[in-house]
Structure 1
Amino acid sequence: MDQVVSTIRQEAEIGRRHTPDFGWRTLLLEAELFALFIAATSLTVAGVIPMWAGFIGNTVFLYALYTVVHEAVHANISSRNKNLRWVDTAAGLIACAPLWLNYHQHKRQHMEHHTYTNEDSDPDIYARGSFPGWIFVRLPKALIGYFNPFQQYRDCKRFNCTTREIVYTALSFTTYATIVIGLIAAGYGWHVLFLWFVPWWIGQTVMLTFFTWTPHHDHHETGRYRNTRVSLFPFANFLLQGQNYHLIHHMLPAIPYYRYEPAFNELRPILEAKGVRIEGLVPDPRNEHSAPSRG
């Protein structure tokens, strides 16, 4: 027991060293991404660049933007400055809009994921199963649910949203729908399709695969050092915005995404001793739990 306590203290100390006073870098990321989105969209609509170029720019935008939401949900922007928690909310609300996410509802849902990771009550347990089943069945079903107001209300109730949060969710959903319907009615239907919806679908598919399916597969283990894994391959930290070190986030969620890698490097001897899954891009089936998984 003493050895376990001592290890956790070491982990916590490393976590403190990699927790900044304020997450300026996340706000900079948000500004850069919205600059990309505004430029790609406006230049495409104006006919300055072809649709395919705007499509690529907005796909990158919609893939990368969830990182801002994720940091805001964990209050990793205000970080040690508790009197600045409103910055997390503001940044999160802004980033949620293009993603058709409802900030307050999503925050409660994500905290449930951390509390019940890989248990049957984990909100992300729908990802449990094979990769083909994830890509072609479970993930599309989840994405379609974003546009179902009844599903959003059920999720609010499931995750114990307050009455005020339910109202905020309804207002945000209505606002998103009004904007999209208004743009289509104004004759921008093809732009909505190719500059938002298809890029959104692709971006969410890639993001959720590397935030949800890949790091937790095969979604059965629940221990501190085995409920997610580390994925090492060339340029992984850049391409996945640190989520190849997803284990670091679950162990020490106050660390911002841009500090996962150095935190992992310090923690690696401890993690290897604890039997952490340190693998490549694809989960190694030899390290998976023996429990059967859904297709």
Structure 2
Amino acid sequence: MDTIRQPGYADEAFTADVEAEVAGLALRGGDDLDKHTRVDLLKQERAIAKEFHSGRMWPYVVAAWGGFALWVSLFPLTMLGIVPLWLACIVACVLATGGYVTSHEAMHSNIARPNTKYRWVNEWVGKVSTIPIVFPFSMARLMHLEHHYHCNDPEKDPDYTDEAPSAAWAWYKTWYNRQPGVDGSIHHYKRILAGMGTPEAKKALKDTLLLQLFFMATLFTLAWNGYALVAAAVWWLPRHVGLSYIRFYLSWAPHHPREGNTSRYDTTRIFKSRLGHTMSMGMETHLIHHLYPGIPNHRTKEAYFALKPILQKRGVDCSAL
């Protein structure tokens, strides 16, 4: 399965940044560096980063498909009384949250590039991973790539609605933004999709509607047949827990503060999580992902420490790690 991994620098967001840098734009940390120094640092940076693009991606495939199968099995296992509801709920919360990590690799085609033999594996990893949080892969990928293209732009970044002045407020907003009538994430997504007006955008909206209808129909059917607690413990509550956790750690924590930070080296920050690197889903070194989306999540920390001397020369605050 190692052959599934297709290394490369195909990400458009990365390509655009490199072109801007080579053109001599003074991107953060470059105000006191001449063009030749910046270009030389960039070459060094790319040479080091390239070492981390390769790697085994089959664990993401196993985690995605195995996790989805386990999640589905929780429904009959709880209905038959084989697995207690409290345990099923905990497992489902972990699977709902962790599924975004595997889907994230598929969003960037890190499992298999387009027009390659195993492309279908990449797509199905993405599709099954986001079902527990009721967020179709087509919508998730489109919005995430828009986040990369327009990171921290208040109008164009789909995730800008997660910004908050403090961690406590950010946790609150992960719940508040999903409430009816609130101009939160989904409304911001719809405005961005309407502005795009592409067939992909229309498909993402359609897929979202269909999945949400299936979600509500499933909950209603389970409740109607006396399994309301199963529906709540295995899907409804884990979905909300997963979405809040993802919104906090993948959106607010690495990008705060968002305002004005739109340059290559300041769209994200290096931070130390109280829960550690793994429990924060690898977001402590999320800057590496924005610089090089082709580096898989499990290698960003290693890549960060290899790139740290160069990042410091570019003005990145690396004091946290």
TM-score by length of structure 1 reads 0.83
Deviations 1:185-232 (A, max 9, x none): 222211111222122212221221010111011112112111101223
Name whichever of 168-177 and 200-209 sits farther off. 168-177
Q: Give the superposition deviation at 1:10.
A: 2.2
Matches within 5 A, 1:39-78: 40-78=74-112
Q: Secondary structure at the match of 2:178?
A: helix
Larger displacement relative to structure 2 (246-255 or 18-27)? 18-27
Moved more, 67-76 or 3-12: 3-12
Q: Percent same amino acid at aligned positions? A: 26
Residue 116, structure 1, aligned to residue 150, structure 2: yes
Corresponding residue number in structure 1 for 2:13: none
* Residues 12-161 of structure 1 aligned to structure 2 (within 5 Å): 12-20=46-54, 23-38=57-72, 40-79=74-113, 82-121=116-155, 122-131=157-166, 132-136=168-172, 138-144=173-179, 151=187, 156-161=193-198
TM superposition shift of 1:123: 1.2
Determine the C-alpha separation between the residues in 2 that align with 1:235 and 1:205. 15
CA drift of 1:22 comes to 6.3
Cα distance in 1 for partners of 2:237, 2:230 equals 10
> Where does residue 197 of structure 1 map in the other structure?
236
Asked if 1:250 corresponds to 2:250, the answer is no
Tell me, in whole angstroms, the C-alpha distance in 2 between the residues paired with 1:128 and 1:139.
Answer: 10
Deviations 1:137-159 (A, max 9, x none): x32233347xx9x9576554244
**Residues 23 and 79, structure 1, Cα contact 8 Å, conserved in 2:** no
* Equivalence map 1:157-172=2 (5 Å): 157-162=194-199, 163-172=202-211
Larger helix percent: 1
Change (3 A) 1:173 1:28: same
Contact kept, 8 Å, 1:21 with 1:81, in 2: the verdict is no
Unpaired runs of 5+ in structure 2? 1-34
Secondary structure, counterpart of 1:248 in structure 2 = helix
Query: 1:177 maps to which residue?
Result: 216
Taking structure 1 as reference, are residues 207 and 164 closer, same or farther at Cα in structure 2, changes over 3 Å only? closer
Task: Assess, with a 3 A threshold, how the Cα gap between structure 1 residues 91 and 188 changes in structure 2: closer, same or farther.
Answer: same
Cα distance between partner residues in 2 of 1:15 and 1:202: 34
Quote the Cα distance in structure 2 between the aligned partners of 1:79 and 1:239: 28
Aligned residues: 278
Contact 1:232 1:279 survives alignment (8 Å): no
Structure-2 separation of matches of 1:266 and 1:201: 36
Range with bigger deviation, 82-91 or 208-217: 82-91
Q: Does 1:263 pair with 2:299?
A: no
Post-superposition offset of 1:41:
4.4
Q: List gaps (5 residues or longer) in structure 1.
A: 282-295
Is residue 2:274 matched to residue 1:239? no
SS of residue paired to 2:158: coil
The amino acid of 1:28's aligned partner reads V
Q: Which moved more, 1:252-261 or 1:234-243?
A: 234-243
**Secondary structure at the residue paired with 1:65?**
helix
8 Å CA contact 2:270, 2:284 repeated in 1:
yes
CA distance in 2, matches of 1:253, 1:67: 13
In the TM superposition, residue 160 of structure 1 has moved relative to its aligned partner by 3.4
By how many angstroms is 1:35 displaced?
4.8
**Kept after mapping to 2: 8 A contact 1:241/1:258:** no
Q: Is the 8 A contact 2:64 2:128 kept in 1?
A: no
